[in-house]
């Protein structure tokens, strides 16, 4: 079974694809990405899972009339989507934007998340990440990069420019991503942290901070891995490891 629907929730239109039957598994993409990115990781249907693959606020086919982006708000959108789908408890995989969103979901509503895989997550933005965010500008993109982004984001170039402006604005955000160890300790979901040891945004010590603070956490540091090291040659190994972890509980 494969259905695509658009839901009106939290003042936006959220596009979502639902595939297969079984236990709910939510897949949350990264910043400037879209739900379609997951085809590069999961190239076949996931047996035993009903996968829920949304385009997050302002990305892909989803809208964002407010023009601002916070991870807390995106988490609220995801929970509203689960409510609309009638899903109380679920497993999830998130990369970067999606992973930070899941930290908010799992702390705001611990009982909703059974297990999750967080790829390139962080408890807060370190100085190096803020410096990179400050350089976020759609006008510096190459023609090839524009072409790729236009295939993902169907609402025109202004949608893409808005996403880059929202990412740039995160350099001045201090309250949205500010997870302390006591707050992280309230997470009840089994959690696998996947982190590249060459991540230019979030040093690997931040993954260790998450691992230390989240009670039921496991940590996989990918050697020579950059930011979101799960594509290309790493995809099969990530797929096997993530699914094994999710099924272990």
pLDDT band at 1 (very low <50, low <70, confident <90, very high): confident
pLDDT band, residue 2 (cuts 50/70/90): confident
Q: What is the mean pLDDT of residues 71-91?
A: 98
Of 10, 107, 117, the closest CA to residue 66 belongs to 10
Q: Express as a percent the part of the chain with pLDDT over 70.
A: 100
Task: Specify the length of the chain in residues.
Answer: 249
Chain segment 193-202, per-residue pLDDT in tens: 999 999 999 9
Residue 43's pLDDT is 86
| Residues 116-153 as b or e (16 or more Cβ within 10 Å = b) | bbbbbbbbebeeebeebbeebebeebeeeeeeebeebb
Inter-residue contact 156 to 164 (CB < 8 Å): no
pLDDT at 249 over 80: no
What local confidence, expressed as pLDDT, does residue 247 receive?
A: 95
Q: What is the pLDDT of residue 45?
A: 86
C-alpha torsion angle, residues 30, 91, 63, 44 (rounded to 10): 70
Predicted local confidence at residue 211, as pLDDT: 98
> d(Cα 84, Cα 82) in Å, to the nearest integer?
5
DSSP strand pairing (49-54 vs 90-95)? unpaired
The pTM (predicted TM-score) of the whole model is 0.98
Q: Which of 129, 85, 121 is nearest to 103 (CA)?
A: 121
The answer on pLDDT for 106 being more than 90 is yes
Sheet (strand 12-19) strand order: 2-9, 12-19, 49-54, 23-28, 90-95, 113-119, 190-196, 217-222
Domains, in order of start, for the chain: 2-126+178-247 (3.40.50.1820)
Tell me the pLDDT tens digit for each residue of 113-158.
Answer: 999 999 999 999 999 999 999 999 999 999 999 999 999 999 999 9
Beta bridge partners of 193: 118, 219
pLDDT band at 236 (very low <50, low <70, confident <90, very high): very high
Query: From CA 203, how far away is CA 195, in angstroms rounded?
Result: 9
pLDDT tops 80 at residue 3? yes
* pLDDT at site 22: 96
3-state secondary structure of 128: helix
Tens of pLDDT, residue by residue over 49-70, are 999 999 999 999 999 999 999 9
Q: Give CA–CA dist 51/27, Å, rounded.
A: 7
Mean pLDDT, residues 150-179 taken together:
97
Which percentage of the chain shows pLDDT scores above 90? Answer: 98
| 3-state percent helix, strand, coil for the chain, nearest multiple of 5 | 40, 20, 35
State phi, psi for 157 to the nearest 5 degrees: -65, -30
């Amino acid at each position: 079974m494969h259905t695509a629907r658009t839901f009106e929730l939290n003042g936006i239109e959220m596009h979502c694809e639902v595939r297969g039957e079984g236990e709910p598994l939510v897949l949350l993409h990264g910043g400037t990405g879209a739900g379609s990115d997951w085809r590069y990781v999961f190239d076949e249907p996931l047996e035993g899972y009903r996968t829920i693959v949304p385009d997050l606020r302002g990305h892909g086919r989803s809208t964002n009339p407010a023009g601002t982006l916070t991870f807390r708000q995106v988490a609220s959108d995801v929970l509203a989507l689960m409510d609309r789908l009638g899903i109380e408890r679920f497993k999830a995989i998130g990369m970067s934007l999606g992973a930070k969103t899941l930290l908010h979901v799992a702390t705001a509503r611990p009982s909703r998340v059974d297990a999750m895989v967080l790829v390139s997550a962080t408890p807060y933005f370190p100085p190096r990440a803020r410096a990179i965010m400050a350089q976020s500008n759609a006008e510096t993109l190459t023609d090839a990069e524009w072409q790729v982004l236009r295939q993902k984001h169907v609402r025109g170039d202004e949608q893409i420019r808005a996403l880059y402006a929202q990412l740039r604005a995160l350099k001045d955000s201090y309250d949205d991503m500010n997870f302390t160890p006591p707050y992280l300790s309230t997470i009840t979901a089994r959690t696998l942290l996947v982190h590249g040891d060459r991540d230019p945004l979030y040093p690997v010590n931040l993954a260790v901070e998450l691992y230390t603070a989240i009670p039921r956490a496991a940590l996989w540091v990918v050697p020579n891995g950059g930011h979101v090291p799960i594509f290309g040659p790493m995809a099969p190994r990530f797929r096997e490891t993530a699914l094994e972890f999710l099924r272990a509980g």
